[in-house]
């Protein structure tokens, strides 16, 4: 019986990794690291745009690109316009960009920054404690984590990326297409 369970577990793991391997990672997205195994992402708490506590559970059923950033982080600042354009292009019932500022400066500074760059499509999520980043295993900014509809981590991209370009859109579209 133990051997049967071991074989079944191996088959399931192979099927999951083969499915993830189907995600297109070309161009800049070759730096997107697929998770070895899709495990549930931590339900770390952060603040929604109205300063109410929120977790990834609020986004269950959608593919989510969690982006951890800060106003003081130069690569983050450079990446934000592309994330705003991605949200504009793909955001809706199946996908969202969840940009969570890891910023002790507070909401006013985050909202002012988003206004300065014209990021009208990104909601200003915030974590002044930076506990969400630690819960998600993030140790450098910016980091983007792609989460599937079941709340499991597909993979992550460390550093800034052009999220509205063709290579990134193919990756996002493939994740959305998974059922």
CA angle 141, 114, 159 (to 5 degrees): 20
Percentage of the chain modeled with pLDDT above 90: 87
User: Which tokens hold the place of 137?
Assistant: 């295993």
The answer to whether residues 157 and 32 touch, using CB atoms and an 8 Å cutoff, is: yes
Q: What is the pLDDT of residue 15?
A: 39
In the chain, where are the structural domains located?
2-177
| pLDDT tens, position by position, 3-44 | 533 333 343 433 343 345 579 999 999 999 999 999 999 999
Which CATH number does the domain 2-177 belong to among 3.40.1390.40, 3.40.50.720, 3.40.30.10, 3.40.640.10?
3.40.30.10
**Cα(177)–Cα(26) distance, rounded to whole angstroms?**
18
pTM value?
0.88
State the first-to-last Cα distance of the chain, in angstroms, to the nearest integer. Answer: 31
| pLDDT tens, position by position, 99-117 | 999 999 999 999 999 999 9
The answer to whether residues 71 and 113 touch, using CB atoms and an 8 Å cutoff, is: yes
Phi then psi for residue 33, to 5 deg, are: -95, 115
User: Which tokens hold the place of 175?
Assistant: 């994740």
**Cα(38)–Cα(25) distance, rounded to whole angstroms?**
17
**Cα(154)–Cα(63) distance, rounded to whole angstroms?**
10
């Amino acid at each position: 019986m133990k051997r049967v369970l071991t074989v079944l577990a191996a088959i399931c793991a192979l099927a999951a990794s083969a499915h993830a391997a189907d995600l297109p990672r070309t161009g800049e997205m070759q730096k997107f690291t697929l998770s070895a195994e899709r495990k549930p992402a931590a339900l770390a708490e952060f603040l929604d745009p109205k300063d109410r506590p929120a977790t990834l559970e609020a986004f269950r059923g959608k593919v989510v690109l969690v982006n951890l950033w800060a106003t003081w982080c130069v690569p983050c600042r450079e990446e934000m316009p592309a994330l705003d354009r991605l949200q504009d292009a793909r955001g809706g019932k199946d996908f969202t960009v969840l940009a969570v500022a890891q910023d002790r400066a507070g909401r006013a500074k985050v909202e002012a920054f988003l206004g300065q760059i014209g990021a009208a499509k990104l909601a200003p999520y915030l974590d002044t404690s930076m506990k969400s980043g630690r819960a998600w295993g993030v140790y450098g900014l910016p980091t983007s984590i792609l989460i599937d509809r079941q709340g499991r981590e597909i993979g992550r991209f460390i550093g800034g990326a052009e999220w509205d370009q063709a290579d990134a859109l193919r990756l996002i579209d493939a994740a959305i297409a998974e059922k």
